[in-house]
């Protein structure tokens, strides 16, 4: 190793260990105090477990050690991340390495098409190469990607925090389940109906609440989502209450009923098709007139209105379009699981979809896809840690907001280049 | 008539608890314009701390009223510590970020705390010992109002009066009002704004903890999920009264509690939560500034 890189390494270690402090001793003391504080903080809930009926106490003393160690080392990382964020404040617009590689790949047509071809091939082969279980997981991942992309329109592009997104999803699912149960309507009829229902509901809900400012909107949509769930739970005559609706028909292929394996594979292709359609639409919307209006609205509402953009119409459009995808995903979800009940549509579902959008990168299609893959697929394969799943979601949401507010893969604004030479020629 | 009075007192008790939690929301919103989503979780952590302390002390053979006092004090200490830590970790680094960022961070914090308690303790309902003593003189009106309800209402009134006096007359209270009015100006006249914000979180969390222990002892069971619904309802109460206004939060809590009690008593108990959410939606649509709030014009 050359001398230069050695000093580089040393200075990095030094920066890492002493970020935000006056020296090693100060840093260690600070971390020690923080660890002590957290031991105090977590003491009753982590360590003591009482049973007030049998009057017994269980002490988990070892947990103190884990907490102390984790916080002691974690606090170094925390301070380093904070200091790094401070340093990089001015250059935060720059792309990270991964992003620049992705961008370069996208701008190279040969690479782009070959990558797309590989993806298409992988999608075509996937249900044949893997077993039913894997295919099912992949289908739910695809559903979440579609949901994430739909919510991305509302939250990422238009900047409206919607915490009741799952309501539209539930409406789509129940619409299919009920129509199928009572009138035997098939999947292909209900998919567009679900989309329209979602959009109509989005407009009905959006109309009165869109005057509200960001955080009020969040609470009202949350309340709305809970109302829908409670109605589904309590209106037993129509929705069958908490026990839900079972034996919902799977989609048929031109009138041919498929077996379990066949219909799962068919479902997978339907979902891939829907995803491609979604990506196409969202991509086109993003750079359209309405898409630019959304971005403008997100950045500054007043300036946006001053430029002559109809605030109401633009926001309603975002709400309705976002809800459309949720409605469709709901129909697919009902067809995939063949059983739905209100427990599938709690606030946590909204929270998971929101974390996909936030962690992936608000407003970025690539980010949302990456977010869904990480948040849905990884926990599926780490079943032993299932109980830590929501804990990690919460922690990651906070960490991402504090240290990387733009998400894993940040959205890139389309840059329009103005060709001076041609414009000059036209003027002459 | 007796049924009406019973419902009225039940509603008043419920409303008192909402008011206690709503005060924390309203204070935080008044100062940093953030819906502190994790506030409901602080209330839940307060209740859990109370349960743990009460369980330990019961085994050591303390008298019930002493247990109640010690449990409340411990709940206040730990809830305040959590409030302080959350503010420092999840909100302070985002003070100058766009509005959505701290809100999402708060939602993340709320999810984290719920699951933290669920994993560290349990996901089942835990029985909470009855700590509030039974007064003999309440026997005459026992069918209308229990001693526990009396204690809760009195404690709420005392907390509200104490808080109002604190905000009105102490130096810290004045600093809080100044910071709420204009943070930059407050900084210029030498107020330590960071300290004031921390103090706001500590006071709000303490009130929530008091509410948590009292209502848990009254209802008799808790689990990790109680903070979510209570938090949303308390927020409704805060909005109802006009967010940012202290008397508004108290009034809003009572109105919400009574509405819920009468709606469940006379209409249907299945839709209890629906009424609360419906009230929230209607208020926000027709009078977003709340009962006692001031209309604010948006500045460019």
Task: For residue A203, give the nearest of A156, A235, A180, A171 by alpha carbon.
Answer: A171
How confident is the model at residue B81, as a pLDDT?
95
Handedness of CA A335, A337, A338, A342 (dihedral sign): negative
Q: What is the pLDDT of residues B53-101, one digit of tens each?
A: 988 888 888 888 888 899 999 999 999 999 999 999 999 888 887 777 8
B-chain CB neighbours of A402 within 8 Å are 89-90, 93-94, 105
State mean pLDDT over B255-261. 89
Instruction: Please give, rounded to a whole number of angstroms, the shortest distance from the CA of A258 to a CA of chain B.
Output: 41
Shortest CA distance from B127: residue in chain A: A52
Task: For residue A319, give the nearest of A178, A428, A177, A159 by alpha carbon.
Answer: A159
8 A C-beta contact, residue A251 and residue A335 = yes
Instruction: Please give, rounded to a whole number of angstroms, the shortest distance from the CA of A1 to a CA of chain B.
Output: 38
pLDDT > 70 in chain B, percent:
95
B299 part of a folded domain = no
Residue B227 belongs to domain spanning = 2-134+146-286
End-to-end alpha carbon distance in chain B: 54
B-chain CB neighbours of A395 within 8 Å are 108, 112
Shortest CA distance from A210: residue in chain B: B285
Tokens for A219, please give them. Answer: 């609470």
B115 part of a folded domain = yes
Rounded Cα gap, residues A239 and A242, in angstroms: 8
Q: What is the pLDDT of residues A111-168, one digit of tens each?
A: 778 888 888 888 778 777 788 888 888 888 999 999 999 999 998 888 888 888 999 9
Q: A258: which DSSP letter?
A: P
Q: What is the DSSP string of B205-258?
A: HHHHHHHHHHHHHHH-EE-TTHHHHHHHHHHHHHHHH-TT-HHHHHHHHHHHHH
8 A C-beta contact, residue A380 and residue A294 = no
* Contact criterion met (CB < 8 Å) for B120 and A354: no
Q: B134: which DSSP letter?
A: P
A-chain CB neighbours of B51 within 8 Å are 50, 52
CATH number of the domain residue B151 falls in: 1.10.3470
* Contact criterion met (CB < 8 Å) for B89 and A398: yes
Q: What is the residue-level pLDDT of chain A in tens, covering all 428 positions?
A: 455 566 666 777 777 777 777 778 888 888 889 999 999 888 888 888 888 777 788 888 888 888 889 988 888 888 888 888 877 765 555 556 666 777 777 677 787 788 888 888 887 787 777 888 888 888 889 999 999 999 999 988 888 888 889 999 999 999 988 888 888 777 888 888 999 999 999 898 888 777 777 677 888 888 888 888 888 888 877 777 777 787 777 777 666 666 777 788 888 888 899 999 999 999 898 888 898 899 888 888 888 888 888 888 888 999 899 999 999 999 999 988 888 888 888 888 888 898 888 888 888 888 899 888 888 887 777 777 777 888 888 888 888 888 887 777 777 777 777 766 555 555 54
State mean pLDDT over B34-39. 87
Average pLDDT, chain A: 82
Rounded Cα gap, residues A405 and A308, in angstroms: 30
Task: For residue A171, give the nearest of A148, A142, A203 by alpha carbon.
Answer: A203
B188 part of a folded domain = yes
Q: What is the pLDDT of residues B154-182, one digit of tens each?
A: 988 999 899 999 999 999 999 999 998 88
How confident is the model at residue A275, as a pLDDT?
92
Q: Which residue in A19, A44, A162, A229 has the most chain B C-beta atoms within 10 A of its own C-beta, making it the best mutation to test that interface?
A: A44
State mean pLDDT over B260-278. 81
* Contact criterion met (CB < 8 Å) for A57 and B55: yes
* Contact criterion met (CB < 8 Å) for A394 and B58: no
Tokens for A252, please give them. Answer: 């048929």
* Contact criterion met (CB < 8 Å) for A48 and B59: no
B294 part of a folded domain = no
B110 part of a folded domain = yes
Instruction: Please give, rounded to a whole number of angstroms, the shortest distance from the CA of B54 to a CA of chain A.
Output: 9
The count of domains in chain B is 1
B295 part of a folded domain = no
How confident is the model at residue A428, as a pLDDT?
44
* Contact criterion met (CB < 8 Å) for A45 and B52: yes
* Contact criterion met (CB < 8 Å) for B48 and A234: no
Instruction: Please give, rounded to a whole number of angstroms, the shortest distance from the CA of B119 to a CA of chain A.
Output: 7
* Contact criterion met (CB < 8 Å) for B90 and A393: no
Q: A50: which DSSP letter?
A: E
Checking ipTM against 0.85, whether it exceeds it is yes
B296 part of a folded domain = no
Handedness of CA A145, A147, A153, A157 (dihedral sign): negative
B300 part of a folded domain = no
How confident is the model at residue A4, as a pLDDT?
59
Rounded Cα gap, residues B107 and A390, in angstroms: 12
Domains of chain A, CATH where assigned = 3-87 (no CATH), 130-403 (1.10.3470)
Instruction: Please give, rounded to a whole number of angstroms, the shortest distance from the CA of B93 to a CA of chain A.
Output: 6
8 A C-beta contact, residue A154 and residue A198 = no
Instruction: Spell out the alpha helix ranges (H) of chain B.
Output: 2-32, 39-60, 64-86, 100-120, 147-169, 171-181, 183-188, 193-219, 226-241, 246-262, 272-286
Q: What is the DSSP string of B50-65?
A: HHHHHHHHHHHT--HH
Instruction: Spell out the alpha helix ranges (H) of A184-287.
Output: 187-209, 214-234, 236-239, 260-286
């Amino acid at each position: 190793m050359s001398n230069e890189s050695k000093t580089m390494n040393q200075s990095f270690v030094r920066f890492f260990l002493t970020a935000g402090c006056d020296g090693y001793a100060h840093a260690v003391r600070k971390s020690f105090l923080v660890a002590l504080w957290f031991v105090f903080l977590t003491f009753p809930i982590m360590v003591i477990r009482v049973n007030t009926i049998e009057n017994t106490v269980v002490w988990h003393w070892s947990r103190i050690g884990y907490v102390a160690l984790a916080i002691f080392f974690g606090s170094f990382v925390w301070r380093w991340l904070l200091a790094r964020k401070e340093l990089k404040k001015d250059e935060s617009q720059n792309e990270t390495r991964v992003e620049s590689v992705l961008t370069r790949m996208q701008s190279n047509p040969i690479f782009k098409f070959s990558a797309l071809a590989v993806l298409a091939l992988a999608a075509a082969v996937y249900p044949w190469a893997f077993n039913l279980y894997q295919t099912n997981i992949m289908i739910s991942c695809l559903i979440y990607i579609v949901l994430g992309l739909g919510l991305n329109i509302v939250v990422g592009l238009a900047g409206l925090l919607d915490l009741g997104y799952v309501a539209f999803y539930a409406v789509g699912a129940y619409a299919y389940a009920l129509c199928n149960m009572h009138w035997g309507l098939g999947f292909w009829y209900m998919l567009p109906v679900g989309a329209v229902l979602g959009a109509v509901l989005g407009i009905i809900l959006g109309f009165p609440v869109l005057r509200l400012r960001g955080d009020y909107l969040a609470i009202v949509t949350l309340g709305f989502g809970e109302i829908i769930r409670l109605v589904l739970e309590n209106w037993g005559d129509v929705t069958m209450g908490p026990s839900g609706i079972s034996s919902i028909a799977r989609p048929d292929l031109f009138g041919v009923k498929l077996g379990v394996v066949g219909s799962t594979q068919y479902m997978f292709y339907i979902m891939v098709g829907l995803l491609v359609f979604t990506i196409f639409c969202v991509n086109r919307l993003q750079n359209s007139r309405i898409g630019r209006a959304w971005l403008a609205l997100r950045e500054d509402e007043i300036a946006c209105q001053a430029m002559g953009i109809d605030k109401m119409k633009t926001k309603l459009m975002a709400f309705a379009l976002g809800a459309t995808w949720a409605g469709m995903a709901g129909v697919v979800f009902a067809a995939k699981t063949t059983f739905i009940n209100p427990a599938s549509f709690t606030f946590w579902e909204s929270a998971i979809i929101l974390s996909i959008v936030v962690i992936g990168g608000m407003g970025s299609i690539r980010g949302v896809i990456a977010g869904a893959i990480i948040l849905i697929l990884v926990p599926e394969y780490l079943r032993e840690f299932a109980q830590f799943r929501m804990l990690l979601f919460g922690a990651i949401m906070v960490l991402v907001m504090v240290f990387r507010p733009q998400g894993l893969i940040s959205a890139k604004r389309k840059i329009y280049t103005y060709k001076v030479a041609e414009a000059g020629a036209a003027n002459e | 008539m007796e049924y009406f009075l019973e419902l009225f007192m039940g509603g008043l008790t419920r409303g008192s608890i909402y008011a206690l939690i709503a005060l924390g929301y309203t204070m935080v919103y008044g100062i940093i314009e953030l819906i502190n989503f994790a506030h409901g979780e602080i209330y839940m952590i307060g209740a859990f701390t109370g349960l743990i302390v009460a369980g330990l002390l019961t085994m050591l053979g303390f008298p019930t009223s002493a247990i109640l006092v010690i449990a409340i004090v411990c709940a206040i200490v730990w809830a305040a510590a959590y409030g302080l830590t959350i503010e420092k970790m999840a909100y302070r680094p985002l003070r100058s970020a766009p509005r959505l960022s701290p809100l999402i961070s708060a939602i993340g914090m709320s999810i984290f705390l719920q699951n933290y308690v669920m994993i560290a303790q349990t996901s089942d309902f835990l029985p909470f010992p009855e700590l509030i003593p039974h007064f003999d003189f309440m026997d005459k009106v026992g069918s209308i109002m229990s001693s526990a309800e009396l204690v809760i209402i009195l404690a709420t009134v005392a907390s509200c009066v104490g808080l109002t006096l604190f905000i009105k007359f102490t130096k810290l209270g004045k600093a809080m009002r100044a910071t709420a009015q204009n943070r930059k100006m407050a900084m210029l006249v030498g107020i330590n704004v960071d300290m004031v914000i921390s103090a706001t979180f500590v006071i709000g969390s303490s009130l929530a903890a008091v509410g948590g222990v009292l209502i848990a002892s009254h209802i008799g069971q808790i689990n990790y999920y109680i903070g979510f619904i209570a938090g949303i309802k308390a927020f409704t109460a805060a909005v109802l009264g006009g967010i940012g206004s202290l008397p508004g939060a108290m009034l809003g809590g009572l109105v919400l509690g009574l509405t819920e009690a009468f709606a469940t008593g006379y209409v249907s108990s299945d839709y209890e939560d629906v009424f609360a959410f419906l009230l929230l939606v209607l208020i926000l649509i027709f009078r977003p500034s709340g009962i006692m709030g001031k209309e604010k014009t948006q500045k460019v």
